[in-house]
Structure 1
Amino acid sequence: MRFLMLVCVDETLAMTEADDTVEQWLAETGGRRLDGHQLRGIEDATTVRDHGALITDGPFADTKEWIAGYDVLDCASLEEAVTIAAKHPLARFGAVELRPFWEE
């Protein structure tokens, strides 16, 4: 079962606070992480609405937390995905959201 893991943190967090432990987390996933990457800050976001008729600089929602990165996990169960997500270095600073992919 594949999951999209969204890593959400407070916008004031210095991303370097967890950088040194990400490599360790990657090693601990046991190959369950298929892909992932850190995203640029909200100041570089663009929101597209109404089929492109409305384009806005910045994120869609006005919130203190923003999506800092994502990972795609391939796990046997939701419980396994939760265990891996809970160990992510940024989980202690914000929230990690798991969303299953629609399986075809």
Structure 2
Amino acid sequence: MEYMLLIYMDESQAAGIAPEQLEEHADAFGAYVRELMDRGVIRGGAPLQPQSVATTVKVRDGKTMTTDGPFLETKEGLAGFYLLDCKDLDEAIELAAKVPAAQVGSIEVRPVWQEMVDMVGKRLG
């Protein structure tokens, strides 16, 4: 079953991070992704730029509206994600606990809505 790991962090913690600390973070995440690859569970993932460069899109009555920034103002913002194919929720939680960012932020584990994926897939042939 596929699970999305949503990584939330306080963006103020990343402000002004020293280059050597950034290298340490890259090493930690590289080791984590290597484990995911070795286990054959990773389907995708990426770090995200700060909320300050986000654009929120809404369509109301056929009109597209955009707003600079995130939809919600929160202390913790979505900082990245992984899409994993795990045998069950327990494995997804185990892997979420290993995300290096879990030490300073939080990881939301959410199952992919497979029924909807299947319904859309049928329409695509």
TM-score, normalization by structure 1:
0.90
State the AA in 2 paired with 1:8. Answer: Y
Identity of aligned residues (%): 39
Gaps of at least 5 residues in structure 2 are 119-125
| RMSD, aligned CA | 1.6
Residue 12 of structure 1: CA displacement? 1.1
- Per-residue CA deviations over 1:54-92 (Å, capped at 9, x if unaligned) read 311000111111111111000000000000010000011
82, 97, 101: which is aligned to 2:108? 97
67, 73, 77: which is aligned to 2:88? 77
Question: Whose relative contact order is higher, 1 or 2, with alpha carbons under 8 Å and at least 6 apart?
Answer: 1
State the AA in 1 paired with 2:105. Answer: G
Gaps of at least 5 residues in structure 1 are none
State the AA in 2 paired with 1:7. Answer: I
Structure 1 residue ranges, 4+ long, deviating more than 3 angstroms after superposition: 50-53
State the AA in 2 paired with 1:44. Answer: V
50, 53, 71: which is aligned to 2:59? 50
Question: What are the within-5 Å matches in structure 2 for residues 1-104 of structure 1?
Answer: 1-14=1-14, 16=22, 18-29=25-36, 30-51=39-60, 52-103=63-114, 104=118
The structure that is helix-richer by fraction is: 2
Instruction: Flag the structure with larger Rg.
Output: 2
